Structure formats: structure tokens, C-alpha cells
Copies of this chain bind each other. A is one copy, B any other.
Amino acid sequence: MLGNTFGRMFRVTTCGESYGRALFTIVDGVPPGLKLTNEMIQEELDKRRPGQSELDSPRKETDQVEIVAGMNQEGYTSGAPVGLLVYNVDTQDIHIQQYRDYKDEIRPGHAEYTFFVKYGGYADWCGAGRASGRETVGRVAGGAVAKQILLQEGIEVIGYVKESYGIRAKEMTFEEIKANYRKNELNCPDLEAAERMIEKILEVKDEGDTCGGIIEVIARGVPPGLGEPVFDKLRATIAHGLMSIGAVTGVEVGAGFEAARMKGSECNDLPYIDDEGRVRFRTNNSGGFSGGISNGEDIVVRIAVKPTPTISLPQKTVDIRKMEETTLAPITRRDATICPRIYPVAEAMVMIAITDALMMARGYEGLTRGDEIWKRLRE
């Protein structure tokens, strides 16, 4: 019932559900003087919008966002919390009726059962309610604000499909990934592998089934020293954010689970001094962390995305009102894989976590691009 806020100093609070009237995001901790337009937010939201390819759900949502609070008359953030409003549009009665028809049946792999336990019959049964992927609109909207702060600090974050149903993309440089990752409907920068991935996904889709994959997120330009020792290491807050995304079943940084099979002498990243006199590391098995704190190398994190639970096959389940076993009918309106739509959500969570850590370190003053008045009053 709680848990709708992420971040401590840069805080994203969201509300809204699948078939509610609107999705809303309040972003607190936005420094003043940031240029912010509806288009900047829209660009990020468009990445996760459904109905963009045959891999996705056919649900039609325009996801038009409007900034309704936090801006001054000149189009800059004023230091007040930014409010972002998106109305739901594809909420016709015909769809609501479909959900009503099997509202007491637990959809396997979904959140229904635990929502019933928490909220009883008051739980929103319509299109998964608050547990729907539609809540990720709020995450991406919040992430879009974080993105503008990070860009100002020279930090770039990209997420992409690293693996789909067992097919893995080749190793590529950051530049190669960045140049290619949005060139296909799967958002996989290895264009050749992507073709094979898509072919395989469509095969699975034709069977009425679904599949998952692995998303990698890379953050470049993160200054060393972000995150707080002990419980709030940046590694931990990023993991928190990513593991809070609906379909995610695992997270790893750098060498990740492979590190468990290495020797210390193989795994340790050795420091050296680069041509500009800065400390760098020769390898990045740690995924950009020393002691869980950012060390200046690329932050590299991967998440396991399970197959979409909604399938076009009959499934045994339980009717929670009658308390009897039953069979859930196949469902056609669904995503064959959620991977191409989940990468912007993963990007958003990483961006929010980094922005929050930056603000812990520097305070909001440290992230404020002060104008003349600001400077004069502080002399």
C-alpha cells in the first residue's frame, strides 16, 4: 500500500493504474534552472509506448504527457516539485468488461494473488490495476527528468537487449551500442543477432507463448564516489530500483554471477594512472564499483527479464471467490516479449538512482546552475 516513492534526495512519487483515469508523477528535488519541455519527457515515454511493433501488446495508448507543475513562466524548472500528467485513453468499457469476466481468477505469473491477500476483494482487478506495466509510465517520466540533470553533468545512460530467449548479442563497445541499439524493434544493437532473436520470438508467439531475455544498462561518465557505504551503496540502490520492476528476476553488475567462478587474481580490477593523470582501472569486472561505490568506470548492470506471464494458452488456476480450481482461457492482447519495452524502464531506474546519489553528495545547491541573482545573493 506504500512504496510509491523512489529516491531520498531526488524523489519520484507515482500514482495511477491500468484502467484508472490518469497516471501522475511528482518529482521532488529538481534543481532550478533546468530547461524542461513536454517533448523531452515525451521522447522517453515514446520508447516504452505499447503497440509499436508485432512484438508488443496491441493496446493503444498515446501517453501524451503534460508538465503541470514545477515550471516558472520562462520554461525553466523553478525548484518546486515537477508534476507530470498522462491520461489513460484506451480504457473502453469493452476491455473493462473482459477483465470483469475473469476478475476472480488468479492469472499465473501475475500479481493478482498477492493483491487479493493484501487488499481483498477491493483490489483493482482491471488490467492488473497498479501492478500493470502501465505504472512504468511514471518511472520513465521521472527518469526523463533525471536524464536532463545527468546530461548537464555529462552522464549518459543507455539500456538495450543483451539476450533474448537464450540468444546473446556479441560484445560491443559503448559507441557501437549507442549507434545501433535503437535500429530495430527489439532495441538490440547487434543487428545480426537481433534478426535471429526476432525470428525466434515470433515462433514462440505463434505457439501462443512468450519469452524473456536480459537487458544491460550502461552508465557512462558517472563520477567516482557516488553512493553511500554500508547499506546504501550505489550498487544496492540501483539493484533495489531494478528489482522493483515487475518482470525482473535477477540483477548483476560487471562480471556478476561469473565472478563467483573466478579467482581473486582474475577478478580484481587493477588501477593505473591514465594519460590525463586520473586513476582508472584496467578491467571492469566490478561493473564500475569499488566497495559498491561508483569508481568512475562505466556502470554495467544486467537484469533477467522473465517471459511475459500473459499467454494465449489455457492455464490451470484458482477462482479466489469460489475458492475452486478452474482453467484460465487464453488471452490474446499481450506482449510476446516485454524486453523491447522494458529497457527504457531499466534506464529510468538507473538514472533516478544515480541522480539521487549525486544529490546526496552535492546537495541541491551542488546541482544548481545558478544565474546572476543566485550568485550575487550568495556572495
Contacts and interface: CB of A to CB of B under 8 A. Distances in A.
Q: Is the interface of A mostly helix, strand, loop or mixed?
A: mixed
Given A232-B2, A290-B110, A270 B315 contact: yes
Q: How many copies does the complex hold?
A: 4
Given A108-B269, A117-B224, A264-B109, A2 B24 contact: no
B232 A78 contact: no
Among A106, A254, A363, chain B packs the most CB atoms within 10 A around the CB of A363
25 contacts: A13-B13, A14-B81, A15-B68, A17-B78, A20-B69, A26-B26, A32-B119, A71-B124, A78-B130, A112-B290, A113-B279, A120-B374, A122-B374, A163-B260, A165-B263, A207-B263, A212-B261, A230-B244, A236-B240, A240-B243, A249-B253, A249-B257, A262-B306, A263-B307, A362-B363
A263 B211 contact: yes
A360 B31 CA distance: 12
Interface in A352-379: 359-366, 368, 370-378
A126 interface: yes
A192 to B, nearest CB: 20
A29 to B, nearest CB: 5
Contact of A14 (B31, B230, B309): B230
Interface string A301-321: 000111111110101111011
A321 to B, nearest CB: 6
A231 B374 contact: no
Chain A, interface residues (CB within 8 Å), range: 35 or more
Interface in A26-80: 26, 28-33, 66-74, 76-80
